[in-house]
Amino acid sequence: MTAFYLTTPIYYVNALPHLGHAYTTIVADSLVRFQRLMGKDSLFITGTDEHGDKIVQAAEKAGSSPQKLADDVSAAFRSLWPRLDVAPAGFVRTTDESHKAVVRAFLQKVHDAGDIYFGEYSGHYCYGCERFYTEKELENGLCPQHLTKPELISERNYFFRMSRYQDWLKQHILEKPDFIRPERYRTEVLALLDSGVLDDLCISRPKSRLTWGIELPFDPQYVCYVWFDALLAYISALGGPESPDFRRYWPQSEHLVAKDILKPHAVFWPTMLKAADLPLFRHLNVHGYWLVRDTKMSKSLGNVIAPLAMADTFGNDVFRYFLLREMHFGNDASFSEEALTARLNADLANDLGNLFSRVLSMTAKFCRSAVPEPGPDEDLERALKKVAEESVSNFKNLFSRLRFSAALESLWELVRALNKYVDAAAPWNLAKNNDGERLGTVLHTLLRYMYIVAVHLWPVMPRKAEVMLEQLGLPVGPEGPSSGILDREDLFAVPLMPGSAVASFSNLFPRRDSEAEASMPGWSVTEEAGGGKNNSGAACPSADRVDAGDPAPGGAIEFSDFQKLELRVGTVTACEAHPNADKLLRVMVDLGESSVRQIIAGIAEFFVPENIVGKQVVVVANLAPRKLRGLESRGMILAVRKDEGLELLSVTAPVVPGSRVS
Closest Cα partner for 447 from 348, 350, 374, 351?
A: 374
Residue 67 — left, alpha, or beta (φ > 0 → left; ψ -120 to 50 → alpha)?
alpha
Query: 391 in helix, strand or coil?
Result: helix
- Residues with a catalytic annotation lie at 18, 21, 126, 129, 143, 146, 296, 299
Strand partners, 636: 620
Which long-range contacts does 94-101 make (Cβ < 8 Å, 24+ apart)?
94/10, 94/47, 94/48, 94/49, 94/50, 94/51, 94/214, 94/229, 94/230, 94/233, 95/50, 95/51, 95/67, 95/70, 96/236, 98/236, 98/239, 98/240, 99/232, 99/233, 99/236, 100/214, 101/236, 101/240
Phi, psi of 33 (to 5 degrees): -60, -45
Q: In the chain, how many H helices and how many E strands?
A: 24, 25
Cα 454 to Cα 162, 371, 448, 649: the distances in Å are: 48, 17, 10, 40
| Spatial contact of 399 and 362, defined as CB atoms under 8 Å apart | no
- Look up residue 428 and give its amino acid: W
Between strands 585-590 and 597-601, the pairing is antiparallel
**What does R_g of the chain's alpha carbons equal in angstroms?**
31
What is the greatest pairwise CA distance in the chain?
101
Q: Which phi-psi region, left, alpha or beta, contains residue 315 (left: φ > 0; alpha: ψ -120 to 50)?
A: left
Partners of 227 in the β-ladder: none
Taking CA 440 as the corner, what is the angle to CA 438 and CA 445, rounded to the nearest 5 degrees?
100
3 state SS of 588? strand
CA distances from 446 to 198, 361, 419, 420, 570 (A): 59, 12, 9, 11, 25
| 145, 258 Cβ separation under 8 angstroms | no
Neighbours of 639 (CB within 10 A): 25
Residue closest to 406 by CA, chosen among 419, 416, 418, 396: 396
> Which residues have CB under 8 Å from 260's CB, separation 6+?
145, 289
- Angle of helix 462-471 relative to helix 436-457, nearest 10 degrees, comes to 160
* Cα distance between residue 461 and residue 481, in whole Å: 13
Amino acid at 399: F
182 upstream amide cis, omega within 30 of 0? yes
Query: Alpha-carbon torsion 184, 188, 190, 191, what sign?
Result: positive
**Torsion over CA: 389, 394, 315, 10 (sign):** positive
- The backbone region for 594, taken as left when phi is positive above 0, alpha when psi lies in -120 to 50, beta otherwise, is alpha
CA distance 445 to 430: 15
